[in-house]
Structure 1
């Protein structure tokens, strides 16, 4: 039975085009998992195109009390993580505690953190300063 694994990332710098995060990857099944949780030695660099602007649509609806109100819906375009990695707009320097690697040789936890960065952006409308995942 697995105890679980996860990772955390924290924004360390940003410029006009790129965001840089430091991240850690840990596996509770390993004896050094406590150390790994506090060792932010991996780097994730993400181009700002990975966080596209939403298209906003306005719609007039009728409420139950008879009033008509305008509501706004934000629709974010889908982005393909693999395309960004292939084009070099996302790069990852693996953590020393990476347990699971993808076929590209990239830490699976780093890929999950990048995906979660986009989900958090879609929820809040702002690029997040930190995210974490745990499985």
Structure 2
């Protein structure tokens, strides 16, 4: 019985972690999108690939989610768009951060991401590597 109780607790822990990660990742999609758009122009397909790379494959956003997010950020001036001729079909839309978007990203990272470099957090990260 002890074995099955241990397995049940492991499953419960895995389920709790999965739920927490889902909420965490959803809240950070804008951050990872902005990081990707900070360095270069992306269409939705390459943006999706870059977000997946940046998050070590833990986040694979749906195209529709990215389209909605990009429209919302275009509307408030955080992202800009340009059209690029495509050899087959309509022009491709390419996106990148606007100057204002970069400012928001920098301030957000300083206020909300930089604290992850504190020794207490780094100790927790290092514990999982041993």
TM-score under structure 2 length normalisation: 0.27
- How high is the TM-score relative to the length of structure 1? 0.26
Q: Which has the higher contact order (CA 8 A, sep 6+)?
A: 1
